[in-house]
Amino acid sequence: MADLFSRFRHPGAGHGSYKGFILALDQGTTSTRAIVFDARGAVVSVSQLEHRQIFPRPGWVEHDPEEIRLNARRVIADAVARADIGTEDIAALGITNQRETTVIWDRETGEPVYNAIVWQDTRTTPICDELEAAGDGDLFRERTGLPVSTYFAGPTIRWILDNVPGVRERAERGELAMGTMDTWIIWELTRSTRHSGRPTRGRQPRARHVTDVTNASRTMLMDIRTRQWDPELCERLGIPMSLLPEIISSSEVIDKVQRSGPVHGVPIAGILGDQQAATFGQACTEPGEAKCTYGTGNFLLLNTGTEPKTSEHGLITTVAYQLGDAPAVYALEGSVAVTGSLVQWLRDNLGFFDDSSQIEGLARSVDDNGGCVVVPAFSGLLAPRWVPDARGVIVGLTRYVTKAHISRAALEATAFQTREVVAAMNADAGVPLTRLRADGGMVVNSLLMQFQADQLGVPVTVPEVAETTALGAAYAAGLAVGFFTDVAEIRSLWQEKETYMPNASEEDRDAAFSLWNKAVERSVGWA
């Protein structure tokens, strides 16, 4: 691979630069990956390392920030080596990250005061309940675009301040810094001293303490309109503002990677939260354009333009991206908790097949779902229904139903849940979606993609470059350094691999969907 690509060493020629490559770092929930892209947005090399998932108690999920820090350096070095290029060939580094996962560390030593608390962690439920009970729910929703939830960083920061000895006092003395994983990695890569980041007598280390608008929009602390930290919200959560990073745009030169970094001197020039990065990587840069990532769960984002839109239909308002000084672009977001993980559940818990890819053959071995419907409400239902007390059901069982029917129904469940979120987006936007761009691990399943197009009644398109998340970060960084000229160039680089056209009659698709709705009723109120 390296040999093959080294022949195309400088495809950036014509951009007036010999630096023909962009590096993206994707710090995800299960792994950290570095990907080298060329000037056409094609993948040149990939390096990936998983990290430990730490479960100290039921409902608690943590990551070791030191492990992630080291993994980030290792995958960067490895991806560059695999691409057979030198640091001098890399125009910029872009960062994308698992959103909401939060770490607090000492500004002098760089040592975390506690593990990173992951977005899946539910330990802040009492803090969230307290906010709601105090009647603050509407304030947070109105000001930040977010519902009060354990997902977001604000309640997590509060928990660390309240529960880790000495942390509140140190925070109040201004000794600590907080960040999501973008912030943590950039602090690490821009520290000028080799080991501890310890300042030389009275001077702070020159590490940059920044986050971008998309990550900041997931904290419950940022005013979605001004895109600044909101003192009143920080006060309500009891969070000293000295902890918080500077909010910057998604595409600007932040600093060069310092001596201690594996790609010394390369400018770090872009940050996007993972779902926003995928949206940008899918070139959803015009209002009305939307993408859905089909992974463990599904994440839909709809570009709504330069004004934040408040959802009346159970969606979240979020920043999609901001390119330098240009106006910020907003999105409506809807998440479905269980999609690909239902496939894993059929594989691991029911033993229907050995590999996720086998579900398609099994589901295709029958003509339809045999009358059964699966509602995978394993931990309630998220957007747009928000029903915490729902639990999973398989209904419509008869002696006729086989594991092939259930597998088919499981794939259909992904499409039905996605249809519900799209319907909410259409209702909020007032203009119906005309096409959905799909990415993520499940899009290789053409039965699912076709069923999705049928259910939505609009074409579903899978792009040529499946690595949309890392690609989005690469685009953001490349734009900041002039490697890519403008958004028009990004749009021209997006290429479709396959489009699934809807071909079910309206009658058929609605009949299937009304059965789904009936099944959802059976799942509600169980817990």
Annotated binding site: 29-31, 33, 99-100, 151, 274-275, 296, 340, 344, 441, 445
Q: How far is the CB of 360 from ligand ADP (least distance, A)?
A: 5
Q: Would you say 360 or 428 has its CB closer to ligand ADP? A: 360
Contact 363, 430 (CB under 8 A): no
Q: How far is the CB of 474 from ligand ADP (least distance, A)?
A: 17
Q: How far is the CB of 4 from ligand ADP (least distance, A)?
A: 25
Q: Which residues bind ligand ADP (CB under 6 A)?
A: 30, 295-296, 340-341, 343-344, 356-357, 359-360, 440-442, 444-445
Contact 209, 215 (CB under 8 A): no
Residue number of the CB closest to ligand ADP reads: 441
Residue 132, token pair as written in the block: 């709601």
Indicate the DSSP class of residue 49: E
Q: How far is the CB of 294 from ligand ADP (least distance, A)?
A: 7
Q: Would you say 30 or 514 has its CB closer to ligand ADP? A: 30
Q: CB-based contacts of 455: which residues, under 8 Å, 6+ apart?
A: 415, 416, 418, 419, 504, 509, 512, 513
Euclidean distance between CA atoms 78 and 421, whole angstroms = 39
Euclidean distance between CA atoms 502 and 377, whole angstroms = 27
Q: Would you say 387 or 444 has its CB closer to ligand ADP? A: 444
Residue 76, token pair as written in the block: 């960067």
Q: Would you say 311 or 468 has its CB closer to ligand ADP? A: 468
Q: How far is the CB of 355 from ligand ADP (least distance, A)?
A: 8
Q: Would you say 343 or 476 has its CB closer to ligand ADP? A: 343
Contact 410, 376 (CB under 8 A): yes
Q: How far is the CB of 222 from ligand ADP (least distance, A)?
A: 25
Residue 5, token pair as written in the block: 């690509």
Q: How far is the CB of 30 from ligand ADP (least distance, A)?
A: 6
For tokens 């506690």, the residue is 114
Q: Would you say 251 or 279 has its CB closer to ligand ADP? A: 279
Q: Would you say 30 or 365 has its CB closer to ligand ADP? A: 30
Q: Would you say 91 or 343 has its CB closer to ligand ADP? A: 343
Nearest residue to 272 (alpha-carbon basis) of 470, 43, 34, 21: 470
Known binding positions for sn-glycerol 3-phosphate: 29, 99-100, 151, 274
Q: How far is the CB of 444 from ligand ADP (least distance, A)?
A: 5
- The size of the chain, in residues, is 527
Amino acid in position 86: G
Amino acid in position 398: T
What strands lie across the sheet with 496-500, from one edge to the other? 316-321, 329-336, 298-305, 290-294, 436-439, 460-463, 496-500
Q: CB-based contacts of 444: which residues, under 8 Å, 6+ apart?
A: 357
Known binding positions for glycerol: 99-100, 151, 274-275
Euclidean distance between CA atoms 466 and 181, whole angstroms = 23
Cis peptide before 384 (omega within 30 of 0): yes
Residue 299, token pair as written in the block: 């994440």
Chain-centroid distance of CA 12 in Å reads 29
